[in-house]
Amino acid sequence: MKMISKIAKASLGLVFLGSSSVFAQSLADAKKAIDAEQYQKAESMLKTLTTTQPTKDENFFYLGWVYIKQDYSDSAKVVFNKGIAANPKSALNYAGLGAVARLDKDNAGATTNFNQAISLAAKDTKPYTYVGLSYLLPTTTDKKVAPADADAAIAVLTKGKAINAKDVDLLIALGDAYRSVLKSNEAYSNYSDASTLDPKNPAAKVATGVLYKFANNFDGSEQQFKDALAINANYGPAYREWAETDLRWSLTDPKMASAKIKEAVDHYKQYLSLTDQSVESQMRYADFLILAGDYKTLQQVATDLSKSASTNARVYRYLAYAAYENKDYSNGLTAINTWFQKADPKRIIPRDYLYQGRLQMATGQDSVGINTLKKALELDSTQTDVYGEIAKALYHQKKYEQAGDAYRQVTLKAGRNVKLTDYFYEGISYYFGYDEKKPNADSLLVRADSAFSYVNQKSPTTADGYLYRAYVNDMKEKDRNNINGYAKPFYEKYIELVTAKGAADDKTKKSLANAYAYLGTYYEYKEKDEAKATENFTKARENDPTNKQAVAFFQRKGGAGKSK
């Protein structure tokens, strides 16, 4: 019996040992799938593990992290709480709850959970790694990490590094944190240390390639991706980052644009073939297509995704963006409205309001569209091009003063994107918005004059800039019989530029007539120079026989100076 008992115990021990080995291997495989961005595969494996090993809190954490990576933070929160139920001292799952709080913009909740994670971590550096990665999760439209968040990530990851300087995942995360605040030397040092410790880790090579990409060292970047694929030919993230590098290269070097955009698409397709072709992978492809400006392909991809019963509601965002860019405005408006109806409010981004406003205006809902664009600006004031869209719409609605204010915002805030025409339309808008009965009438003329003055300085041969500046200064003349000549130098410059070009068209002739008529009035009443007054009124009448000032002058003079 004792011998049988010993054999039984030995056999039982082997069963448990085998079970533990299967679990460890399965969890390791799931983590490899996450690293390879095969989220559907990882999700399936981890769901099984949370059922077969319900006391293992790590299973729940990594399943929650998969949900985080797929933009399902509500599902992640549920799973992290299950992990804590399985182990109330699960540092990883508290790190996960902190990540969810950050995405929900609950900074206090994030801090509380992160602190709890670190207090429970002891000598385990994985919680430090995931608290750091949580700070690096993008929460803004441009997907950039705020400097304060990057600093927080660096601080916690540095503490983790002091505990274990050989944690490769932590070193890569620390490199990412430094890269996000443009500390390239520090980033490279951590990536290099990770590669030295684990030469077979493709993630460290890819991270270095991304670092080179932002330095526009595209050849060096490509080599890193090739090195990563030499380690693991099926490592999808290398192809994804290579595609995004190709895209940046195409934007930086126009000569390479065509070839690199083609390469980018090919590399991204290779990435997709190495993932699980999940809806989430297709969504990431859609994000890439937006960056690439390939809205025709985006519309096809989004249309295909919308036919799936299990699709993410975000597909309606892509349908709307693509439809607008492809001038399919009616379907675009339907899609964006569906997105607003289906989406969790916290998943709405400023760009969604931007496209909704554009689509509203494109379908004749100008006033509603303008208000929606203003909402987009309230949420993201960096979208300075929107001021121009609002200004243009207001101008077409003949709301000139408001249009002038909007163009003024363009010229003040758009930086390098400001065009000279923005200043020109700012001036015209204020000019047309002038009404002497308004209490702010004089200030509108001042703003208009300032805008046209800028046009004169930057483009001294643009005749219309002087013409409209003359019109503005002409408005300052309160009494024709007591003229000051505010507009004189600008009309003279306009005449000089136009006549130098040769024969004028009918529209320009009318403007020339106005200019000569003003000068005629100036010489008649200010200078009391009858000869010069007659000369200028004659030229006014030659350019436009119906010019009222010229007609009135010659009537007063009894037809003197009548042209032949």
For every residue of 353-412, DSSP letters joined together read HHHHHHHHHHTT-HHHHHHHHHHHHHH-TT-THHHHHHHHHHHHTT-HHHHHHHHHHHHH
Given a cut of 50, whether residue 23 has pLDDT beyond it is no
Q: What type of residue sits at position 425? A: Y
Given a cut of 70, whether residue 423 has pLDDT beyond it is yes
Can you give the pLDDT at residue 258?
Answer: 86
Can you give the pLDDT at residue 281?
Answer: 81
Can you give the pLDDT at residue 379?
Answer: 87
Alpha-carbon distances of 451 from 129, 388, 427, 459, rounded to whole Å: 53, 15, 5, 12
pLDDT band at 143 (very low <50, low <70, confident <90, very high): confident
Token pair for 377: 């600006």
Closest CA to 208 of 226, 191, 193: 191
Token pair for 196: 């030295």
Token pair for 73: 């933070």
Please state the pTM of the whole predicted model: 0.69
Output the average pLDDT for the chain: 90
> Which residues are CB-contacts of 321 (< 8 A; sequence separation ≥ 6)?
290, 295, 298, 332, 355
**Location of structure tokens 């069963």:** 15
Can you give the pLDDT at residue 50?
Answer: 96
Closest CA to 535 of 561, 504, 509, 499: 561
Token pair for 128: 């430090």
Can you give the pLDDT at residue 559?
Answer: 57
> Which residues are CB-contacts of 144 (< 8 A; sequence separation ≥ 6)?
138, 180
**Location of structure tokens 């026989």:** 545
Give the pLDDT mean for 454-474. 95
Give the pLDDT mean for 355-377. 93
Q: What type of residue sits at position 472? A: V
- Residue-wise pLDDT tens digits, 209-237: 999 999 999 999 999 999 999 999 999 99
Instruction: Say how many CA atoms lie within 13 Å of 254 toward its Cβ.
Output: 0
pLDDT band at 292 (very low <50, low <70, confident <90, very high): confident
- Residue-wise pLDDT tens digits, 303-316: 988 887 566 788 99
Q: What type of residue sits at position 262? A: K
Closest CA to 560 of 528, 526, 529, 537: 537
pLDDT band at 12 (very low <50, low <70, confident <90, very high): very low
Can you give the pLDDT at residue 510?
Answer: 95
Q: Is 330 exposed, middle or buried (0-12, 13-18, 19+ CB in 10 A)?
A: exposed
pLDDT greater at residue 18 or residue 502: 502
Give the pLDDT mean for 447-460. 96
Give the pLDDT mean for 507-523. 95
Can you give the pLDDT at residue 139?
Answer: 76
Q: In this prediction, what percent of the chain has a pLDDT beyond 90?
A: 72
CATH superfamily of this structure's domain 461-556: Tetratricopeptide repeat domain (1.25.40.10)
Can you give the pLDDT at residue 310?
Answer: 64
| Distance, CA of 408 to CA of 393 (rounded, Å) | 14
| Rg over CA atoms, the chain | 34
DSSP 144-205: PPPHHHHHHHHHHHHHHHHH-TT-HHHHHHHHHHHHHTT-HHHHHHHHHHHHHH-TT-HHHH
